Structure 1
Amino acid sequence: MVSKLFQKFLHGQTSGGILLIICTILSLLIANSVLADSYQHFWHLDLFGHSLAHWINDGLMAIFFFLIGLELKREMLVGELSDVKKAILPIFAAVGGMLVPAGIFAALNYGTDTINGFGIPMATDIAFAVAVITMLGKRVPMSLKVFLTALAVIDDLGAIIVIALFYPNPELPFDLTQFGIAMGIFIALIGLNKLKVKSIIPYIIGGIAVWWFMLHSGIHATIAGVLVAFTIPFNKDQTKSLCAKVEHALHLPVAFIILPLFALANTAITIDGGGFSHFSFPLAAGIFFGLVVGKPIGVTLASYIAVKLGLCELPTAVNFKRVFGAGLLAGIGFTMSIFVSMLAFKDPQYVNEAKLMILVASVVAAISGFFYLKMTLTTRQDFSD
């Protein structure tokens, strides 16, 4: 039985994904209208020493990563990742879906100054992916939705690890003292958890402190969100679980405020008369082929290897054709890919080119995944490989 919390999660991700699409289209239209200059200026307004866009990307997005951490914790303790046998398939699929796209990007960009963008095509946007697969209606078996969601959640964890290891804060050198203080507070929060402190207030205060010191340590501050999430007390009885209550409380503001703001602030891309002619070939090609080709190949190949090695089995009503379809939808990078692109490059031209190609590749992945699954998800249950 699929938990009510998971069903609410799917519904929230679907609605949030649709809103993200609307916000992205709106942002692109305004950025290419007579209001373009005013629109760009708005996101760069100074607010307490930083631009509005900076507060969204380094501040509000920490809350988004905090929610990802809560979702990961739930999945690992009571969800699809709590059973090792069940977790192996989406883990292999996610790893394959990260390594193959990164390999394609690295091969195309080797020896160039855009090689640092290898992490861009590794990401999956869970909201968009779930929104697209839900549009296919009841023909989609719940087991395939669960597989795609678990894959995307693990993919998010992989993206977080990649950001932490390879994309430090470009504005600050690493500061061991600041990092040490952040880790000290983090350990103190774990102590509160062990002491069964169930009031959210000390975790909020401690979480803000971890974020502040992480922000000044040279490591990207959004990582603090994930770390703090794992300190929140969890109970299998969802009515008593602080973790579940906080996750439930954050779903709506993250889906309907934070991510739409992120989309509006970071897709304000002006497309000049030259269109795609000014793109840097290896950068654009690496992102496009990484997401559209590398993702489905990596997801399917890794899943096939895991099953043939006897490490796991395909879920009921899921075959490798459907795994490939899920892999196509995993190529919708959007939020995480855009986030990584801003960390990967200092040159604004590269950032804008990367963002625009992420949008193009994500649209292609969404359309191809939708129609491929529509053809393969027939009323007759065919489980042949």
Structure 2
Amino acid sequence: MAHNPHARATVFRRFIDSESSGGIILMAAAALALVVANSPMAETYFAGLKLDVGPLNVSHWINDGLMAVFFLLVGLEIKREFVDGQLSTWPRRILPGICAAGGMAVPGLIFAALNWSNGEVIRGWAVPTATDIAFALGVLSLFGNRVPVSMKVFLTALAIIDDLGAVVIIAIFYTGDLQLWALGGAAAVLAALFALNRTGVKLLLPYLLLGAGLWLLVLLSGVHATVAGVALALTIPIVRPKGGSSERTVDSPLHRLEHALAKVVPFVIIPIFGFANAGVSLAGVNAASLTDSLTLGVAGGLVVGKVVGVYGTALATVKLGWADAPVNAAPLHLLGVALLCGIGFTMSLFIGLLAFPDNPALQDGIKIGILVGSVVAAVLGSIVLFASPRPGGAESRVF
């Protein structure tokens, strides 16, 4: 029987275009890292990450270099959503904005409450504040039309604002000793980028060349280099739709760059980051390590903190009349999505590495807490969404 290569190509294309595929690949990369880190290849795996390649080792190239491209895409998405997307007006920003704030504050408070007496561990308070948009949307997309479209829009908007909050936290709380000369150079390059924007330059190449210089200067300044990705994104021009049309103009530099990165980031950069950072030896994991205040603070913050922070603030905001409930959404839909917000994989791992850059033991505790909390949040969220009413029914409008 002859094989049809076109059919195989079609299946591959459908997988690549699927909303859940990025999350699936990230899960596979994380699982592979765990297997390798607990196999005879573990020594090679950890040694390979420490291998020097030029001025940085492999781990730093991934976390400081490749992740700057991830943050560039995050910044582009944030700017697009605020200019002509789901966050373009204040009424659209209120509910996801308040819920994102609650979903960051409560997990941080839970972590701090459990680790208040430990001066070093308390630096990890921001780890459970993050939501992994690829994972969360990937799980949500598995439920198809069982979940109203309004909840997908809500989760996307919340996660984008959450990412913005994470960038601010990284810039403020996880910045090392500042080198003023490099910081001044970065400010000058950023000014040049804004000048390009203001003078109407639409070619991407000048922005990207200056962006590379911005990344290097930010890296040398003591501010984490990934912040350069977001800063660069904010200078990329976006062409607003004419006449109130919702269509995005194809010649907008921001949309062109976002489109170019849309497959590279979720299918190349994030899996590489996941594989490089999810690997943790489970040899010493026991009941005591799982109940350690560091691990509990992360896992509890992700599972309990996100539910209280997102679901609680959403109910309060709607009941107070400050914002409308998502269309056709029942309380169970919102509860399920709030639980999915506890999937904090990529950004949580990243913040954990920044919090404890020179302490592998604390990094391992953070990783275990993230893995446990994210899995529990995904499972509980899936159960709640599976039990939720179909959108449009009478029971789905009781909020």
Q: How many residues align?
A: 374
**Paired amino acid for 2:44:** S
- Which stretch shifts more, 176-185 or 122-131? 176-185
2:46 aligns to what?
Answer: 40
Aligned residues of 2:330 and 2:388 also touching (Cα < 8 A): no
2:340 aligns to what?
Answer: 329
* Gap change, CA 1:280 and 1:214, over 3 Å in 2: farther
**Paired amino acid for 2:173:** F
Aligned residues of 1:30 and 1:36 also touching (Cα < 8 A): yes
Q: CA deviation at 1:307?
A: 2.0
Aligned residues of 1:12 and 1:252 also touching (Cα < 8 A): no
**Paired amino acid for 2:33:** S
Matched, 1:180 2:184: yes
1:71 aligns to what?
Answer: 77
**Paired amino acid for 1:384:** V
TM superposition score normalised by structure 1: 0.94
CA offsets 1:102-130 (integer angstroms, 9 cap, x no match): 01111111021211110000000000000
**Paired amino acid for 1:160:** V
Matched, 1:103 2:103: no
C-alpha distance in 2 between matches for 1:221 and 1:274? 33
**Paired amino acid for 2:116:** Y
CA offsets 1:178-217 (integer angstroms, 9 cap, x no match): 1121011111111101111011111011111111111111
C-alpha distance in 2 between matches for 1:28 and 1:352? 12
Q: CA deviation at 1:279?
A: 5.0
Matches within 5 A, 1:107-118: 107-112=113-118, 113-118=120-125
2:169 aligns to what?
Answer: 162
Aligned residues of 2:100 and 2:161 also touching (Cα < 8 A): yes
1:4 aligns to what?
Answer: none
Matched, 1:196 2:200: yes
* Gap change, CA 1:221 and 1:273, over 3 Å in 2: closer
TM superposition score normalised by structure 2: 0.91
Matches within 5 A, 1:86-165: 86-112=92-118, 113-165=120-172
- Quick one: which of 59, 65, 69 aligns to 1:59? 65
* Gap change, CA 1:129 and 1:377, over 3 Å in 2: farther
Q: Percent identity?
A: 44
- Which stretch shifts more, 35-44 or 325-334? 35-44
Aligned residues of 2:147 and 2:333 also touching (Cα < 8 A): no
C-alpha distance in 1 between matches for 2:318 and 2:286? 44
Question: 4+ residue runs of structure 1 moved beyond 6 angstroms?
Answer: none
C-alpha distance in 1 between matches for 2:102 and 2:199? 39
Gaps of 5+ in 2: 1-13, 241-247
* Gap change, CA 1:274 and 1:263, over 3 Å in 2: closer
Q: CA deviation at 1:357?
A: 1.4
- Structure number with greater Rg is 2
- Quick one: which of 280, 300, 308 aligns to 1:269? 280
1:210 aligns to what?
Answer: 214
Q: CA deviation at 1:273?
A: 4.7
Q: CA deviation at 1:309?
A: 2.9
Matches within 5 A, 1:259-298: 259-278=270-289, 281-298=292-309
User: What secondary structure does 1:216 align onto?
Assistant: helix
Gaps of 5+ in 1: 1-7
C-alpha distance in 1 between matches for 2:351 and 2:291? 18
Matched, 1:17 2:15: no
- Which stretch shifts more, 363-372 or 235-244? 235-244
Aligned residues of 1:93 and 1:300 also touching (Cα < 8 A): yes
User: What secondary structure does 1:331 align onto?
Assistant: coil
C-alpha distance in 1 between matches for 2:306 and 2:111? 12
CA offsets 1:212-260 (integer angstroms, 9 cap, x no match): 1111111111001001001001013421211011001101110111001
Aligned residues of 2:335 and 2:384 also touching (Cα < 8 A): no
**Paired amino acid for 1:373:** L
2:259 aligns to what?
Answer: 248
- Which stretch shifts more, 45-54 or 62-71? 45-54
C-alpha distance in 1 between matches for 2:172 and 2:51? 31
C-alpha distance in 1 between matches for 2:321 and 2:32? 48
**Paired amino acid for 1:262:** F
- Which stretch shifts more, 232-241 or 363-372? 232-241
Q: CA-atom RMSD, angstroms?
A: 1.6
1:311 aligns to what?
Answer: 322
C-alpha distance in 2 between matches for 1:69 and 1:288? 27
